[in-house]
């Protein structure tokens, strides 16, 4: 039986949460173990690949969401072509680093220490890019549980390996080398699971399909490159204009909140095939309904989280990264305002309707605006100016652009592009729940204890208010959680959230 959308999101989100959580453990551990200079070199090395990874990927992983559901009988051949292209693109990164790219980046970041680290790190791309296809492949083949298990086990293995080796040899070179080694060891099971999930007797890529994937993916790849540049531009500017110590402080504050990537990625992965199907049959009413429901359900988690994390930011930075990084709370708080926007899977309708060029146009203009404002704001406000610029552009340009074209594509009114009334209720409940933080003015609770106590109190009050406002149903949530453990078939009947 086909699993419900909510069940898929729950399974995938739980896996992604553990994946992100283990990554957070890794950087929290290394930030405590290394000096700020060594930690900055480590993060700058990772940033070099993260910055160009979308260009190397060419949007090919996302193409599987489109091509596999359309031709499941030949999905294995489609996958082969996809992996081959990604492996070759990863090879370009490796060659570029060994042909002088490492020295160029070291000079750009004013940090000679990363030159050698980049040479060690360069083979990572040839492994990471093909592995990055596993989510699209297994989701398109309805192997959600398999994907969640792989994500969790592979990430736990990676973190354990890195920490174990760094405890013995406490240098950034070892942490980078361990990262590459771990990726090599999880590469084989990833490829095995993808081929096992796909169908078809032909293993070799089909030239026509390969070309079709390229035509579909290149606009996505360019948009993803620009999007990645937008996402990492603040870090690049801070790295170039500030000291390594300031960069270390900023990059810890600019961590992506796990709930952003987890929830929005999971929801997009689950609803995108349905958007494609509804739009193809010209059932625009269902597209709009599903779009708005997904925003509300994401918002019931992201917006309360935004409020809680804003008030608890200094304590969270101290617990995660030590008191040396308490100043990271400032950029962390600014970037939290992105959560209000991230409740929307902004690209999903463009992808489903094959309007990939709109993503590229939006991203290019965002990048141009963000570059100018980042440089200006960093000069005026210091490293926190980069965070201010990122949030400002998201509110005044990216989101209005997205809603404008969604209205045109689906031929709907402005009021129907966003669930304004429901989101207002969620914001109100979240702000009213924040009354618990007033206690902090009178009662001082140290460290992680304060996070737990305030978290429980805030969660209880906010969930009660959301239930009273009709945004959630506590009884249904309890039933969903309980029966998910006992009988997944019954869960599908209960969990009609989306």
Domain edges within the chain = 5-494
How many Cβ atoms sit within 10 Å of the Cβ of residue 450?
18
How is residue 13 written in tokens? 């989100």
- CA 360/CA 239 separation, integer angstroms: 26
At 265 the pLDDT is: 64
> pLDDT for 415-438, tens place per residue?
888 888 999 999 999 999 998 887
Q: Would you place residue 490 in the very low, low, confident or very high pLDDT band (cuts 50, 70, 90)? A: very low
Higher pLDDT, 332 or 199: 332
* C-beta of residue 63 within 8 angstroms of C-beta of residue 82: yes
* pLDDT greater than 80 at residue 213: no
CA distances (Å), origin 406, targets 51, 224, 399, 418: 28, 19, 11, 10
Mean pLDDT value of segment 263-267? 67
CA 224 to chain centre: 12
pLDDT for res 308: 94
DSSP letter at 99 equals: I
Q: How does pLDDT run across 389-415, given as a tens digit for each residue? A: 989 998 999 889 988 988 888 888 888
pLDDT of residue 3: 53
Classify 2 in phi/psi space as left (phi over 0), alpha (psi -120 to 50) or beta: beta
Residue closest to 45 by CA, chosen among 98, 105, 2: 105
Tell me the CA distances in angstroms from 321 to 2, 160, 245, 315, 380, one per residue in order: 43, 18, 14, 10, 27
- Mean of the per-residue pLDDT values of the chain: 82
For 141, the token pair is: 């083949």
Place of tokens 């031929």: 411
**pLDDT for res 492:** 40
pLDDT, position 487: 47
């Amino acid at each position: 039986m086909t699993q419900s959308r909510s069940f898929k999101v729950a399974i995938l989100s739980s896996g992604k949460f553990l994946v992100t959580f283990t990554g957070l453990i890794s950087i929290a551990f290394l930030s405590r173990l290394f000096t700020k200079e060594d930690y900055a070199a480590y993060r700058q090395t990772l940033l070099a690949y993260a910055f160009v990874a979308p260009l190397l990927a060419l949007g090919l992983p996302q193409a599987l969401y489109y091509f596999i559901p359309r031709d499941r009988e030949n999905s294995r051949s489609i996958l082969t072509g996809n992996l081959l292209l990604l492996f070759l693109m990863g090879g370009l990164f490796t060659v570029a680093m060994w042909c002088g790219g490492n020295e160029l980046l070291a000079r750009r970041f004013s940090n000679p220490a990363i030159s050698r680290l980049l040479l060690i790190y360069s083979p990572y791309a040839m492994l990471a890019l093909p592995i990055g296809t596993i989510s699209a492949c297994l989701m398109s083949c309805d192997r959600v549980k398999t994907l969640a298990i792989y994500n969790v086990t592979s990430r736990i293995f990676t973190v354990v390996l890195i920490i174990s080796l760094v405890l013995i040899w406490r240098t950034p070179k070892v942490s980078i080398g361990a990262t590459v080694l771990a990726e090599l060891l999880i590469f084989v099971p990833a490829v095995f699971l993808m081929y096992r999930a796909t169908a078809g007797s032909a293993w070799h890529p089909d030239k026509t399909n390969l070309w079709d994937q390229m035509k579909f993916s290149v606009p996505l790849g360019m948009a993803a490159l620009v999007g990645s540049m937008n996402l990492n531009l603040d870090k690049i500017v801070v790295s170039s204009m500030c000291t390594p110590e300031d960069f270390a402080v900023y990059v810890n504050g600019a961590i992506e909140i796990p709930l952003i990537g987890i929830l929005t990625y999971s929801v997009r992965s689950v609803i995108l095939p349905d958007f494609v199907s509804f739009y193809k049959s010209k059932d625009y009413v269902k597209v709009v309904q599903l779009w708005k429901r997904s925003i509300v359900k994401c918002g019931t988690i992201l917006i309360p989280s935004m409020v809680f994390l804003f008030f608890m930011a200094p304590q969270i930075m101290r617990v995660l990264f030590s008191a040396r990084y308490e100043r990271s709370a400032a950029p962390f708080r600014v970037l939290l305002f992105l959560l209000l926007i991230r409740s929307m899977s902004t690209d999903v309708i463009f992808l489903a309707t094959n309007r990939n060029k709109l993503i590229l146009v939006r991203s290019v203009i965002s990048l141009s605006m963000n570059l100018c404002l980042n440089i200006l704001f960093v000069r005026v406000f210091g490293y926190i100016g980069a965070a201010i610029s990122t949030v400002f552009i998201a509110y005044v340009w990216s989101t209005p652009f997205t809603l404008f074209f969604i209205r045109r594509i689906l031929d709907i009114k402005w009021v129907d592009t966003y669930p304004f009334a429901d989101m207002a209720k969620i914001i109100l409940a979240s702000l009213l729940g924040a009354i618990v933080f007033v206690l902090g003015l009178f009662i001082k609770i140290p460290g992680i204890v304060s996070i737990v106590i305030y978290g429980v109190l805030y969660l209880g009050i906010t969930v009660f208010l959301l239930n009273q406002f009709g945004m959630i149903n506590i009884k249904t949530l309890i039933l969903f959680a309980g029966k998910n453990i006992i009988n997944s078939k019954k869960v599908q009947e209960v969990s009609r959230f989306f």
